[in-house]
Structure 1
Amino acid sequence: MPAFPDFSSNHHPYMSRRSAVYARRGMVATSQPLAAQAGLQVLQAGGNAIDAAIAAAAALTVVEPTANGIGGDAFALVWHQGKLHGLNASGPAPQAMSAQQLRAAGHKEVPKYGALPVTVPGTPSAWAAMAQRFGRLPLSQSMAGAIALAQDGFPVSPVVAHAWQAAWNNFKREFKDPHFQSWFDTFGLDGRAPNAGDLWRSPGHAATLQAIAADNAESFYRGALAERTVAFIGAAGGHMALSDLADYQPQWVDPIGVNYRGYDVWEIPPNGHGMVALMALNLLKKYDFGERDTLQTYHRQIEAIKLAYADGLAHIAEPAHMKFSVEQLLSESYADERRKLIGERATLPVAGDPSRGGTVYLCTADAEGNMVSFIQSNYMGFGSGLVVPGTGISLHNRGNNFTLEEGHANELAGGKRPYHTIIPGFMTRDNQAVGPFGVMGGFMQPQGHVQMVMNTVDFGLNPQASLDAPRWEWEKGNKVSIEHSTAEHLFRGLAGLGHEVSWSGNQLGFGRGQIIWRNDAGVLCGGTEPRTDGCVAAW
């Protein structure tokens, strides 16, 4: 087996209007072309892959507000000088909140919208932490492109416009409280959602980005921006205090991984659910997969994901609250036990006992060998629906991922981070970087990671072909959604095995991915998502 994936092939078995992109000096892959260009400009101005990731991430809060924002969370995997580093910039619930409090108020679950699901935003802290530890440029330089896009305006891209319109229509139905008005004021254009090609600008967003860049996010957590944010959340019925923001710090963490056919696949440890992808790969690696588009391949992949999610949804939480350790859940002996449950027909697995054995994703690379896998999100598109007036700070709703079930590992508690769906991925071989990859999209993300790893390692697809290939998504029970581009015999075959399959025309429902691989000659090869406005900017 070669030391690195073979991406020299021009084999493109799936329909796409894109080709893989090759470069030597640098690469930025994002879901929106203007964000990719912002990252590339920073590389060409002397920045490294970390600076480029910050540039692209900040720009994405402007050009793709339908999926992320200043008031969201972020995770990163950073390959720097031969070592992989993890950053968890997800925020906790306000200290004054509790599951008991919400249950007493009659809630069966944490609401989707409004102030109650708003947890401490971690995204600005991620930019500052990455720049301080690994960056070459100040935030004022790496974020300049994003600030200009917000101040001067930009033409909205097609898929973003579609998502914007859907959110506008939904929020018009859902939002009656006057505290939601600032969302419409911020994201409206002449009383409507912008169409593709419309120029949209947000001076308040620009001013906030400028403030974050000027003081490395201090004002966001311990200054004037913090005061405005806390006052607004309080007025909207939330429990955020100034101390919740002031006390917050992102965490540098050790990535967790499993070996899959000689490649090490890495994820951020809990409270993120990247471990679901790793558990599924642990189950799948003992099978031989000769071809991708066969009934057996699809069936085993789906069953492995179901087993991994049964454990993930039951056990993943803040590490201090987990009943079983990462090591137990990723052990070979536990995988061997769980694999026995994969049979010839669809099953309804439950969590095991290992003690017996709306998001944006981007990736960057530079000529020095640095690479970044970065993801940030507001969740469910625009998040909570609350925007701090005049600031462009669209607040996320990550608290919705808590449970109010008493005694559950992921039960809401003050100062606790929720089960988190955003996950950056990274792959190495023999302690050398192969590269970053990711597939944004809520609970699709671990499923997308498994499919991208297998497309590369098992089926030899280059990054673009990997992303072009038809996808499936397990939803719940035996329900599986598959893309229309999937062969009909697979649809019928899965139904015959007991899977409740349905065709789906919602291309965004299958996630949006980016991949950059580097070979042993130092050549970069990138692929970008054909289901969205994706772009690979290369140098």
Structure 2
Amino acid sequence: MFDDLDYSQPYASARSPVMGNNMVACSQPLAAQAGLDMLRRGGNAVDAAIAAAMVLTVVEPTGCGIGSDAFAIVWDGKKLQGLNASGRAPQAWTPEHFAGQSEMPQRGWGSVTVPGAVSAWVALSERYGKLPFATLAGPAIGYARNGYQVTPIIAELWRRGGALLKDQPGFANCFLPDGKAPAAGEKITLKDHANTLELIAETKGESFYRGELAQAIVAHANANGSVMSLDDLANHRVDWIDTISVPYAGAVVHELPPNGQGIATLAGLTMLEALGVGEHPVDSVETVHPVLEAMKLALADLNHHVADFDHMRVASEHLLDPAYLMERASRVTEQAADPQHGSPKAGGTVYLSAADESGMMVSFIQSNYMGFGSGVVVPGTGISLQNRGAGFSLDPEHVNVVAPGKRPFHTIIPGFVMNADGTPLMSFGLMGGPMQAQGHLQMMMRILRYKQNPQAAADAPRWRIEAGLKVAVERSFDRLVVEELRAKGHEVDIEDPSGVFAFGGAQIIQRTTHGYVGGTDPRKDGLVAAY
């Protein structure tokens, strides 16, 4: 049960770990409280997660929207179940469709795949929920119609996104009232958003994929040169899937299989075990250096081998084969390296966590990808659309090359940990684009190997692998360790923890013998709400 947590707070943070029998951890306080309200009404952790996720599309539109994609891992009391609700490429997205382009579009309708978040809410509610779906949408509809005050970090991200995306179709009318982004503390209403959420609630998502909203989406798409069709939306489906996992530090860490990047976290953790990481203090160069090198090896394989599960040329089990990863780990030396991928046997995001007193735990993530995503907003609906198509490759030889009906490589990943005896231990995640697999590994090492409590693990200074020998670290990183890393050949940049991807935003709920303990990232406006 990992009850031997260290409850000291060794890092600069004004937050303490939160404890309770029912808990919701979110990157925005209103969303966390909406989830907790569902629990107080007799709902379960899934109800709480859905309500919080809907609210986040209103109060944190810089990271997600009604047109987001989503993934989840649920412990229902008996079984661990994964959900992949990410959307697929339009059927007209052949490689020829992008002829003459060197890379996939990053913004606008040309980057939009079929959005899946609405389908995730509906599927989770139908399989696990206790409260009516319309009840879950109530808090989000209320904040959208009656208004809310914008929190400081979201206000800054809103300002940046507005400057970049103001000319995208529909964006300014929705998100730049009076021609500018709302300031911190300013009250804003999103009435179109409220009406759309009501329609989604009334039809349990049918309008979004096969009705009035679907027609509005496709009409706007076609008017702006997109080839998305009504059939593309109508044919969307979620996949209930099994997780993939590896043993680590006496527990078992679970991620979802590709098209996400969670497999890199698992590969990295397996290499840490092979390297014997854990004998030295967690923030020492003797620990940080081999962890960086293991993560680089895992990311090299991720970037070369991972794509839509149905299109993988190398099976996940081969990428996670212990013998293969032990050989990969043997490449780590005392000097920084720029590794290439191995050859195993062929074969803007929000994250939230919820747990209830029955033992149900949910790890949920939804995202528009790069800040406001594509920047496209369907007029009169408040539907801001993700730009997940940017995750495809246009290299015809790459496993992740764009193709009709194919899912792109995804950065967003929910995480989960089980005890060795098969009982649930932790629901965790970290928003932040390419930072996510790296952040998962850092948090799991801190909590499972070094017994740091969830808040301390969230507070701790992070690193982020860039490319080649380049590594970014937060300004709070120990300067002596930075110089020791540079002496080993790492090209270290010191950064402030700002921006959409930067160093991520974590939410963690851990189960103990007596209840739950939660932590939320000080890099976000978040809250752990509990009772």
Q: Which residue of 2 aligns with 1:330?
A: 320
Is residue 2:167 matched to residue 1:167? no
Is residue 2:176 matched to residue 1:185? no
- State the 1:288 CA deviation: 3.5
- Supply the distance in 2 between the matched residues of 1:181 and 1:322 (Cα, whole angstroms): 35
| 2:456 maps to amino acid | A
Secondary structure of 1:76 counterpart: strand
Secondary structure of 1:355 counterpart: coil
- State the 1:356 CA deviation: 8.0
Of the three residues 335, 353, 365, the one matched with 1:363 is: 353
- State the 1:520 CA deviation: 2.5
Q: Please identify, of 14-23 and 348-357, the stretch whose mean Cα deviation from structure 2 is larger.
A: 348-357
Cα distance change on mapping 1:318 and 1:495 into 2, 3 Å: same
- State the 1:10 CA deviation: 3.0
TM-score by length of 2: 0.98
| 2:513 maps to amino acid | D
Kindly indicate whether the alpha-carbon contact (under 8 Å) linking 2:252 and 2:417 is maintained by their aligned counterparts in 1: yes
Q: Please identify, of 355-364 and 416-425, the stretch whose mean Cα deviation from structure 2 is larger.
A: 355-364
The answer for unaligned runs of 5 or more in structure 1 is none
- State the 1:107 CA deviation: 0.7
Is residue 2:281 matched to residue 1:284? no
- State the 1:163 CA deviation: 0.3
Deviations 1:293-315 (A, max 9, x none): 11021111111111001100111
| 1:41 maps to amino acid | D
- State the 1:234 CA deviation: 1.1
Matches within 5 A, 1:502-521: 502-508=493-499, 509-521=502-514
- Supply the distance in 1 between the matched residues of 2:128 and 2:273 (Cα, whole angstroms): 34
Matches within 5 A, 1:179-218: 180-218=168-206
Q: Which residue of 2 aligns with 1:67?
A: 63
- State the 1:457 CA deviation: 1.3
- Supply the distance in 2 between the matched residues of 1:284 and 1:359 (Cα, whole angstroms): 27
Secondary structure of 2:81 counterpart: strand
| 2:91 maps to amino acid | Q
Kindly indicate whether the alpha-carbon contact (under 8 Å) linking 1:5 and 1:456 is maintained by their aligned counterparts in 2: no
- State the 1:235 CA deviation: 1.1
Kindly indicate whether the alpha-carbon contact (under 8 Å) linking 2:314 and 2:346 is maintained by their aligned counterparts in 1: no
- Supply the distance in 2 between the matched residues of 1:243 and 1:171 (Cα, whole angstroms): 28
Secondary structure of 1:166 counterpart: helix
| 2:37 maps to amino acid | Q
- Supply the distance in 1 between the matched residues of 2:245 and 2:389 (Cα, whole angstroms): 27
| 2:4 maps to amino acid | D
Q: Please identify, of 106-115 and 86-95, the stretch whose mean Cα deviation from structure 2 is larger.
A: 106-115
Secondary structure of 2:342 counterpart: coil
- Supply the distance in 1 between the matched residues of 2:177 and 2:524 (Cα, whole angstroms): 22
Secondary structure of 2:170 counterpart: helix
| 2:133 maps to amino acid | L
Is residue 2:289 matched to residue 1:299? yes
Kindly indicate whether the alpha-carbon contact (under 8 Å) linking 1:331 and 1:357 is maintained by their aligned counterparts in 2: no
Is residue 2:476 matched to residue 1:488? no
Deviations 1:233-284 (A, max 9, x none): 1111111010001011111000111000221000111111110101111111
- Supply the distance in 1 between the matched residues of 2:508 and 2:7 (Cα, whole angstroms): 16
- State the 1:318 CA deviation: 1.2
- State the 1:171 CA deviation: 2.3
- State the 1:506 CA deviation: 3.2
- Supply the distance in 2 between the matched residues of 1:147 and 1:372 (Cα, whole angstroms): 23
Q: Percent identity?
A: 50
Deviations 1:319-361 (A, max 9, x none): 2221110110001111111011111111111111111891000
- Supply the distance in 1 between the matched residues of 2:395 and 2:59 (Cα, whole angstroms): 38
- Supply the distance in 2 between the matched residues of 1:363 and 1:99 (Cα, whole angstroms): 38
Matches within 5 A, 1:89-104: 89-102=85-98, 104=99
- Supply the distance in 1 between the matched residues of 2:134 and 2:354 (Cα, whole angstroms): 19
- State the 1:100 CA deviation: 2.5
Q: Please identify, of 373-382 and 314-323, the stretch whose mean Cα deviation from structure 2 is larger.
A: 314-323
- State the 1:507 CA deviation: 3.4
- Supply the distance in 1 between the matched residues of 2:312 and 2:75 (Cα, whole angstroms): 28
- Supply the distance in 2 between the matched residues of 1:357 and 1:316 (Cα, whole angstroms): 13
- Supply the distance in 2 between the matched residues of 1:288 and 1:191 (Cα, whole angstroms): 52
| 1:440 maps to amino acid | M
Is residue 2:228 matched to residue 1:240? yes
Q: Which residue of 2 aligns with 1:121?
A: 115
- State the 1:181 CA deviation: 4.5
Q: Which residue of 2 aligns with 1:401?
A: 391
Is residue 2:458 matched to residue 1:460? no
- Supply the distance in 1 between the matched residues of 2:111 and 2:17 (Cα, whole angstroms): 40
Kindly indicate whether the alpha-carbon contact (under 8 Å) linking 1:268 and 1:423 is maintained by their aligned counterparts in 2: yes
| 1:4 maps to amino acid | F
Secondary structure of 1:272 counterpart: coil
Q: Which residue of 2 aligns with 1:423?
A: 413
Matches within 5 A, 1:14-29: 14-24=11-21, 26-29=22-25
Cα distance change on mapping 1:45 and 1:13 into 2, 3 Å: same
Q: Which residue of 1 aligns with 2:490?
A: 499
- Supply the distance in 2 between the matched residues of 1:5 and 1:346 (Cα, whole angstroms): 36
Kindly indicate whether the alpha-carbon contact (under 8 Å) linking 1:328 and 1:357 is maintained by their aligned counterparts in 2: yes
Q: Which residue of 2 aligns with 1:6?
A: 4
| 1:242 maps to amino acid | L
- Supply the distance in 1 between the matched residues of 2:283 and 2:255 (Cα, whole angstroms): 26
Kindly indicate whether the alpha-carbon contact (under 8 Å) linking 2:464 and 2:503 is maintained by their aligned counterparts in 1: yes
Kindly indicate whether the alpha-carbon contact (under 8 Å) linking 1:5 and 1:457 is maintained by their aligned counterparts in 2: no
Q: CA RMSD in A?
A: 1.1
- Supply the distance in 2 between the matched residues of 1:195 and 1:5 (Cα, whole angstroms): 43
TM-score by length of 1: 0.96
- Supply the distance in 2 between the matched residues of 1:262 and 1:164 (Cα, whole angstroms): 42
- Supply the distance in 2 between the matched residues of 1:226 and 1:144 (Cα, whole angstroms): 22
Of the three residues 44, 49, 73, the one matched with 1:48 is: 44
Is residue 2:258 matched to residue 1:270? yes
Aligned residue-pair number? 526
| 2:519 maps to amino acid | G
Secondary structure of 2:179 counterpart: coil
- Supply the distance in 1 between the matched residues of 2:122 and 2:251 (Cα, whole angstroms): 31
- State the 1:138 CA deviation: 1.6
Is residue 2:367 matched to residue 1:377? yes
Kindly indicate whether the alpha-carbon contact (under 8 Å) linking 1:316 and 1:409 is maintained by their aligned counterparts in 2: yes
